[in-house]
Structure 1
Amino acid sequence: MDDRTTASDTPLFDTLTVIGPGLIGSSVLHRARRDGMLARRLIAVDNNPTFRQRVWDLGIADEVTENVAPAVAEADCVMLCVPVGVMGEVAATAIPAMRPGAILTDTGSTKVSVIDAIRPSLRPDISYVPAHPMAGTEFSGPDAGFATLFENRWCLLTPLPETSSDMAVSAVESLWQRCGARTKDMTPEHHDRVCAIVSHLPHLLAFTICGTADDLADQTRSEVLDFAASGFRDFTRIAASDPIMWRDIFLSNRDAILEMLARFTEDAQAMARAIRWADSDYIVDRIERGRQIRRSLIENHQA
């Protein structure tokens, strides 16, 4: 047996601190604990005592605390997995306590607003590498996490030239690849426009459709719930997502979301006209385009 140690066999960091062990944060911890390839020592931070107890009971961290400063003081990498609306506040507490040369990263679903919130607290001796793992479920909290959540999913990196060294970017990229994800770099602005159409707008529509159904007359509403077909059930799965998290996302990425919503509204009105005037060719074309996108997702292992 060859017992030589290779780079991929060695933990990427000595200490990884995850602030906010919800679905994403706890899944990172699960993966780290399962494979041992992310960090030798794992620290979880949360201000919710129930969450802290669950992380401890699950055995996915070596230390669990509510105190940010001591938890980040010896970390090689600090990962912010908190809602985007409080990223700046948490970063302002964590960054002053981080050791020189450490890496800060985040998992926020919006990038421009998160970067703007964190930038005022940055230090020149801390490398900040923003990231966004494109994975999730409708569930939240430490119990929602699992080690394979990121398997074959994309993690988008939006490195900042003024704050991120090539070594830090490579380390964060390697972290997500060791979690099973595929990685790609893009600008924060492009990230927010892409996510507005592929993630944020679908959630907005799901919340809205479920709200429309809930506002129907009592008898019709009851029938909607009784006879919900697969399409409506799919919308309700998305709509079951955490409301505070999605409120923050909508407000943080408002410009890109409103742009995509305006384009969708125009397309929806065009479809309405096609239905009104029995424009079969237009209707079939739109359906075929949807089928092609679905086939592409399946071929790309994203469905």
Structure 2
Amino acid sequence: IAHALRAAGSRADIRVLERDEAMVARVTAAGLPVDRVSCDPAVMKVADLVILAVPMGAYGDVGRALAGQLKAGAIVTDVGSTKRHAIAALAPHLPEGTVFVPGHPVAGTEHSGPEAGFADLFAGRWTILTPPAVTPREAVEKVAAFWRALGAKVEEMTPDHHDRVMAVVSHIPHLIAYTIVGTASDMEGDDVSRREVMKYAAGGFRDFTRIAASDPVMWRDIFLANHDAVADVLARLKADLARLEQAMAEGDGRMLEEWFTRTRAIRRGVLAEEPMPSGGANEDGPP
């Protein structure tokens, strides 16, 4: 975000609040274009806009830490991948006079940490805002304008709908990627070695499992926070896999071909309607 702001010509006073001294040193060493890095929540007292970029499980602690530090009129937003949890964990701790506009830039890579940022991460990507009904429109429009200034496209939806959509397009794919890498590793010592998996892996395996290199703490918290939506999609996926397994066992090539033909058409149709932007973030990287 800092890189993108500076690339957009912003001269805003950018401050980073980080409770870990070692991470403060990393942020400083990485040369982020920020004005101040501190472990003291008091650095947020003058902030007009506060952006949470922490694991979902830390929202409550961060909210408590910020509770006495935010000025009246401050807008708080975030980048978290589950919005119902974000609202439930953070909103109760925010002081009267502040506004929370939940947000989720659907952009990222498998890399994390202050060294991994780059200015065009959000260019051409969607940022989803999920403001509760009582949220002042002026605050929502300010947050939307902020993300548009970084090159993002902005959409609004309810927190419930957001979490169901993300379960399908992001959370389940990450769960599968983590699982298939673990399955391949568990086969070591049988008739497939880890070296063979990586040596003979085609582009599909490498590309798909790239996201299994994502931050494990972040994804642990995402799955715990969005467990019900993920469980619902996972049940449907398991049922589909069972049908495919049965078709293979019965030699039902017609069913398999029809399934693959239908899903290929769906995939091509999606790309035709919403082509991927060139460069920048990966399609299925974490938030």
* TM-score, structure 2 normalization: 0.90
How much does 1:297 deviate? 4.5
Q: How does 1:63-74 map to 2 (within 5 A)?
A: 63-68=36-41, 70-74=42-46
Q: What residue number does 1:55 align with? A: 27
How much does 1:92 deviate? 1.6
Q: In structure 2, which of residues 270, 275, 287 is the aligned counterpart of residue 301 of structure 1? A: 275
Write the distance in 2 (CA, Å) between the matches of 1:276 and 1:264: 18
| SS of match in other structure, 1:209 | helix
Q: In structure 1, which of residues 22, 44, 53 is the aligned counterpart of residue 16 of structure 2? A: 44
The superposition leaves residues 112-169 of structure 1 with CA deviations (integer Å, 9 ceiling, x where unpaired) of 111111122133311110001111110000111111111111111100123x211100
Question: 1:215–1:221: 8 Å Cα contact kept in structure 2?
Answer: no
What stretches of structure 1 of length at least 5 have no aligned partner? 1-27
Residues 234 and 59 of structure 1, relative CA distance in 2, 3 Å threshold: closer
Q: What residue number does 1:113 align with? A: 85
Question: 2:111–2:215: 8 Å Cα contact kept in structure 1?
Answer: yes
Mapped pair 1:188 → 2:188 = no
Question: 2:127–2:154: 8 Å Cα contact kept in structure 1?
Answer: yes
Q: Return the letter of the residue paired with 1:181.
A: A
Write the distance in 2 (CA, Å) between the matches of 1:265 and 1:184: 31
Write the distance in 1 (CA, Å) between the matches of 2:116 and 2:8: 19
Residues 186 and 93 of structure 1, relative CA distance in 2, 3 Å threshold: same
Q: How does 1:86-235 map to 2 (within 5 A)?
A: 86-162=58-134, 164-218=135-189, 219-222=191-194, 223-235=196-208
Question: 1:193–1:256: 8 Å Cα contact kept in structure 2?
Answer: yes
Question: 2:123–2:152: 8 Å Cα contact kept in structure 1?
Answer: yes
Q: What residue number does 1:84 align with? A: 56
Mapped pair 1:292 → 2:269 = no
Q: In structure 1, which of residues 262, 269, 278 is the aligned counterpart of residue 251 of structure 2? A: 278
Out of 212-221 and 150-159, give the one that drifted further.
Answer: 212-221
Q: Return the letter of the residue paired with 1:125.
A: G
Out of 198-207 and 88-97, give the one that drifted further.
Answer: 88-97
Write the distance in 1 (CA, Å) between the matches of 2:23 and 2:269: 38
* TM-score, structure 1 normalization: 0.85
Residues 194 and 126 of structure 1, relative CA distance in 2, 3 Å threshold: same
Write the distance in 2 (CA, Å) between the matches of 1:92 and 1:296: 46
How much does 1:48 deviate? 3.0
Residues 52 and 292 of structure 1, relative CA distance in 2, 3 Å threshold: farther
Q: In structure 1, which of residues 249, 259, 265 is the aligned counterpart of residue 232 of structure 2? A: 259
Residues 297 and 29 of structure 1, relative CA distance in 2, 3 Å threshold: farther
Question: 1:152–1:301: 8 Å Cα contact kept in structure 2?
Answer: no
Write the distance in 2 (CA, Å) between the matches of 1:33 and 1:66: 23
Q: What residue number does 1:15 align with? A: none
Write the distance in 1 (CA, Å) between the matches of 2:108 and 2:185: 25
How much does 1:36 deviate? 2.5
How much does 1:225 deviate? 2.7
Write the distance in 2 (CA, Å) between the matches of 1:128 and 1:59: 26
Percent identical: 43
The superposition leaves residues 18-38 of structure 1 with CA deviations (integer Å, 9 ceiling, x where unpaired) of xxxxxxxxxx1101122224x
How much does 1:301 deviate? 2.6
Question: 1:139–1:241: 8 Å Cα contact kept in structure 2?
Answer: yes
Q: What residue number does 2:280 align with? A: none
Residues 210 and 116 of structure 1, relative CA distance in 2, 3 Å threshold: same
What stretches of structure 2 of length at least 5 have no aligned partner? 277-282
Residues 62 and 236 of structure 1, relative CA distance in 2, 3 Å threshold: same
Write the distance in 1 (CA, Å) between the matches of 2:26 and 2:241: 45
Question: 2:106–2:125: 8 Å Cα contact kept in structure 1?
Answer: yes
Write the distance in 1 (CA, Å) between the matches of 2:54 and 2:120: 20
